[in-house]
Amino acid sequence: MQLNPTEQKIYQRVKEVLADEPVASVDHVERMVTWSQKLSQGLEPDPEVLVAGALVHDIGVVLDRPKHFEAGIPLAREVLREAGLSEDKIEPALHVMQAHSRYGGPEPQTLEAKIGQDADALEYLGAIGVVRLVVRGLKDGSFDGKISKFPDFMRSIIAKVDDTFHTEKAEELGRERLEFMRRFNERIEQEIKGEV
């Protein structure tokens, strides 16, 4: 993750706000920013808008987890302003934040928001995705920890992301990560049945 001085200021504030957050954790934000930067190669988004939006995308989780993409708007705006992000970039960065979630919020209307949503989706998938979905499910109550219910829970996460990517690179990466999750889910179902 490479940040300019303004982005470093945003990041410092985000680290303070999310210090105790297990799901929308600081390391998740770092990976989201890194994926945003990687996915943007060759697409020419405004990098300041994209990175600023990615940095604050989950800041509202500490205020209202289910509606974090809305609840975080005032705090995110304050953080972006205090860090010195140009006024003309604040609203576009907030759109990246608002549109990142597949659990609500507006559809991404800009290239930056589409890349941001793709970057966040990659965090749902693969080995990291499996760990995050368990932690998130236990934290928000959508998974009760019973292994017998895990396959259906994982299928619901896969369905949220499958065939929803905006960029070719994310589609390619996502396809491989989704396949890993499907294989993992098949193995869990076999173990539950005592077949392996």
**42-84 tens-digit pLDDT:** 999 999 999 999 999 999 999 998 899 999 999 999 999 999 9
pLDDT for the residue numbered 34: 97
Residues 96 and 150 in one domain: no
Residues 149 and 186 in one domain: yes
Decide: helix, strand or coil at residue 44.
Answer: coil
Which residue from 110, 109, 90, 101 is spatially nearest to 60, judged by alpha carbons?
101
Domain boundary among 107, 140, 155: 107
Question: Whole-angstrom Cα distance, residue 70 to residue 111?
Answer: 20
| Total domain count, the chain | 2
What CATH number has the domain bearing residue 12?
1.10.472.50
| pLDDT tens for each residue of the chain, 196 residues long | 899 999 999 999 999 999 999 888 999 999 999 999 999 999 999 999 999 999 999 999 999 988 999 999 999 999 999 999 999 999 999 999 999 987 788 999 999 999 999 999 998 899 999 999 999 899 889 999 999 999 999 999 899 888 899 999 999 999 999 999 999 999 999 999 999 8
Domain of 130?
A: 124-196
Six-digit token string for 79? 């953080």
Residues 95 and 154 in one domain: no
Q: Are 46 and 74 in contact (CB under 8 A)?
A: no
Decide: helix, strand or coil at residue 111.
Answer: helix
pLDDT for the residue numbered 140: 87
